[in-house]
């Protein structure tokens, strides 16, 4: 049985609308990061905190369509823009508490604790 043009069009539409978060998750998984944090269209970092050991890294991923930033509160430790689908990897060489925020969305905050 040959697929109709409508069936083919619906299949293409379903693929185009499917959730691509797995491909983004795979990007962070392949990075070797010890923690992955999502930046979402709900204007939150998820999870809001992570604990790692010094020398390890964190991968932030924008799993939505809204642009975000990942910026340390001190403004100098780390900063990156995250367009839709992008990731940002940062290694933490020293122990401490590292609060961060999205400079575009005031309520988006999080903390990395490094042991």
State the Cα–Cα distance between residues 68 and 46, nearest whole angstrom: 13
Q: What is the model's pTM?
A: 0.77
Q: What is the pLDDT of residue 98?
A: 97
Length of the chain: 115
Q: What is the token pair recorded at 72?
A: 């340390």
Q: What percent of the chain has pLDDT over 70?
A: 77
Instruction: Convert the pLDDT of each residue in 20-30 to its tens digit.
Output: 444 445 689 88
Instruction: Convert the pLDDT of each residue in 60-98 to its tens digit.
Output: 999 899 999 999 999 889 999 999 999 999 999 999 999
What SS3 class is residue 27?
helix
Q: What CATH number belongs to 20-114?
A: 2.60.40.420
Closest CA to 34 of 69, 73, 60: 60
Each residue of 59-92: b (16+ CB within 10 Å) or e? Answer: bbbbbbebebbbbeeeeebbeeebeeebbbbbeb
Domain positions in the chain: 20-114
């Amino acid at each position: 049985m040959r697929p109709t043009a409508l069936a083919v069009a619906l299949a293409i539409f379903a693929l185009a609308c499917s959730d691509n978060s797995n491909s983004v998750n795979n990007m962070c998984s392949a990075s070797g990061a010890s923690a992955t944090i999502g930046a979402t269209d709900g204007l939150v970092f998820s999870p809001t905190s992570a604990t790692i050991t010094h020398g390890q890294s964190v991968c932030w991923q924008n799993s939505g369509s809204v642009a975000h930033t990942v910026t340390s509160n001190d403004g100098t430790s780390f900063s990156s823009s995250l367009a839709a689908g992008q990731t940002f990897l940062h290694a933490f060489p020293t122990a401490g508490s590292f609060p961060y925020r999205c400079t575009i969305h005031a309520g988006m905050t999080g903390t990395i604790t490094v042991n």
